[in-house]
Structure 1
Amino acid sequence: MTESNSPLDQPTRADFEIAAQAVIARIPARLREELAEVTVRIEEFATAEQLESVEIETRWELTGLYEGTPLPERSLWDEPSLPPVITLFRQPLLREMEETGVGFEELVRHVVIHEAGHHFGFSDDDMHALEAMVED
């Protein structure tokens, strides 16, 4: 990635998808297996319903979202449901990169690990430990 502010030089949806999958590939195998059912999506912005679900008012504030039932809350008796989804919101992430100077891969890693942490029911400390394991 170049450091230019030109929209042509910004990471594309495909770039985000590749970066997110690279993060997942570096997660320890025992946890990565549990993520096999999770779909990763890249959207430009969160929908109004997604924003409301996390009590965020502006679409620029939400960079990622886990939607699904965390593993610790599941039961064998649960009705089948849609697979869990981790969504990265491209425009808010691009804005955060510009405002903070955090690099593309680092920011994607942070958001993917955070949202995957919700899937596992991890605490913030657990998420930080997992992120440290996945760092280059």
Structure 2
Amino acid sequence: MTDKSTATNWVKARAPSLDDLEIMARDAFAALPETFRALTGNLPIQVADFPQDDVLDDLGIESEFGLLGLFQGIGLAHASAVPTTGEMPNMIWLYRRPILDYWAEHDESLGGIVTHVLIHEIGHHFGLSDEDMEAIERAAG
């Protein structure tokens, strides 16, 4: 049974804004081990409501809710020592609305989801594939 005073606290609650999610991502990043953070360099973290249509098309994703985050760029394992002309900088994107949708449908904290997506995208920055990261997660339990 829900306490009436607790339920009242939700009456004026709003979904976290882009700025709120960016703060959560920066806090999650700051909580990662220093040695891990140091390896990422100055990797920018951006937050948008949804991925752009061309991103979804390139990845073959039909729903704008089908992508929670994205590493955009060349992973460290595949990068050359000399940047190529016209090469966009590496960047991590977190997508607010798909993250909130996932949160609403699962029994996980919003902070936990943001942290998981952020670490996953940093894994791509290091050159790990989705399969690599799934194997690491399975091994970690």
Q: TM-score, normalised by structure 1?
A: 0.81
Runs of 4+ that moved beyond 6 A: none
Task: State the alpha-carbon separation in 2 of the partners of residues 46 and 107 from structure 1.
Answer: 17
User: Is 1:112 the counterpart of 2:121 in the alignment?
Assistant: no
C-alpha deviations, 1:44-89, integer Å up to 9, x for none? 1111111122221110111111101000001114415322111111
RMSD: 2.6
Q: Which amino acid aligns with 1:94?
A: L
Q: Percent identity?
A: 28
Structure 2 CA distance for partners of 1:128 and 1:24, relative to 1, 3 Å: farther
Among residues 119, 123, 128, which one is paired with 2:137 in the alignment? 128
Q: Is the 1:66–1:84 contact (alpha carbons within 8 Å) kept by the matching residues of 2? A: yes
Q: CA separation in 1, counterparts of 2:10 and 2:58?
A: 34
Q: How many residues align?
A: 129
Counterpart among 13, 33, 53 of residue 28 in structure 1: 33
**1:85 and 1:45 mapped to 2: Cα distance?**
15
Max Rg structure: 2
Please name the residue that 1:97 is paired with.
103
Q: Does the C-alpha gap of structure 1 residues 5 and 121 become closer, same or farther in structure 2, counting only changes over 3 Å?
A: farther
For 2:34 and 2:112, locate their aligned partners in 1 and report how far apart those are by CA, in whole Å. 21
Aligned pairs (5 A) from 1:1-136: 4=10, 8-79=13-84, 81-122=87-128, 123-125=132-134, 128=137
TM-score (norm 2): 0.79
Distance 1:99 1:5, change over 3 A: farther
- 1:51–1:57 Cα contact (<8 Å) kept: yes
Q: Which runs of 5+ in 2 are unaligned?
A: 1-6
